Amino acid sequence: MGRESVEDDVKVFAVVHINDRSTPVDQAHIALELAADGVFLISHGGGAGEVLGVLGQLRSTHNDAFIGVNLLGHSSLGAMRRVHENLLRTECFTDAVWSDDIRNDDGSPSAAMRYKVEYPELSGVKLFGGVAFKYTVTYTDDPDTAAGEAADLEPFVDVVTTSGPGTGVAAPPRKIAAMKQVIDKPLAIASGVDAANIGDYAGIVDCVLVASSVETEPYSGIFHTARLSEFISVAHSVG
């Protein structure tokens, strides 16, 4: 996948956990070679500088790949600003910013999108905004509540991004179906999806951000190649 769209078919984005500077580049390469539609870089131990440094390394060999980032510890607006600063300083483009909670900008969920549209050079950056997302104060499994959140927050994101209640825990299909019904923009799931349950979301999800089910162990940053390959194949076939 290049930078055209995330809206045509179900897309698989492999989440690369960064534990050093060289391994994530190799793992991202593996995911892209296995036909993942893109990758997201995230670090639970390092800062934004580490993530953006790996982005630069990866971009040098995969200039046309879809590469997004999750800058933990930054608000949605803060992450968008860091990505912008990095672009101006290094000319290294980021295809997407994933934020776990689009409401985390001092109660102004529109802040990151308003910043993005102010700068034409950010027009290609997709904002994957967390809605009813794990470990946030507005997390919910309730379909009606989640649908209300999705409808309210859709204008402030490019991709409505949700999850189950925890890492590696699947989101209830009824929740996903209810959210999908009330939005026009793409819907992504970022927890608990594997080759065995991806079919439960056929027709109601546009993107899957996958890590735990395809790693050697959670947060290892190392993909189990056979599981990742199987997941990509199955996910692309369910449409």
Overall pTM > 0.85: yes
Q: Return all residues near 220 (Cβ < 8 A) that are at least 6 apart.
A: 17, 19
> Which residues in the chain belong to E strands, given as ranges?
11-17, 38-42, 67-70, 96-99, 126-130, 159-162, 187-189, 207-210
> Could you tell me if residue 4 is inside a domain?
no
> Could you tell me if residue 1 is inside a domain?
no
pLDDT, the chain, mean = 94
> Could you tell me if residue 62 is inside a domain?
yes
> Could you tell me if residue 24 is inside a domain?
yes
> Could you tell me if residue 54 is inside a domain?
yes
> Could you tell me if residue 60 is inside a domain?
yes
Q: What is the spatial distance between Cα 29 and Cα 49, in angstroms, rounded to a whole number? A: 21
> Could you tell me if residue 6 is inside a domain?
no
Q: What is the spatial distance between Cα 174 and Cα 122, in angstroms, rounded to a whole number? A: 34
64: helix, strand or coil: coil
Q: What is the spatial distance between Cα 132 and Cα 183, in angstroms, rounded to a whole number? A: 14
pLDDT tens, N- to C-terminus, the chain (239 residues): 344 445 557 899 999 999 988 899 999 999 999 999 999 999 988 899 999 999 999 999 999 999 999 999 999 999 999 999 999 999 999 999 999 999 987 668 999 999 999 999 999 999 999 999 999 999 999 999 999 999 999 999 999 999 999 999 999 999 999 999 999 999 999 999 999 999 999 999 999 999 999 999 989 999 999 999 999 999 999 86
- CATH number for 140: 3.20.20.70
pLDDT tens track for 159-178: 999 999 999 999 999 999 99
Q: What's the domain range around 40?
A: 11-238
Give the count of beta carbons closer than 10 Å to the beta carbon of residue 61.
11
Q: How far apart are the first and last CA of the chain?
A: 16
> Could you tell me if residue 112 is inside a domain?
yes
The total domain count for the chain is: 1
Q: What is the spatial distance between Cα 235 and Cα 239, in angstroms, rounded to a whole number? A: 7
For residue 66, give the DSSP letter: -
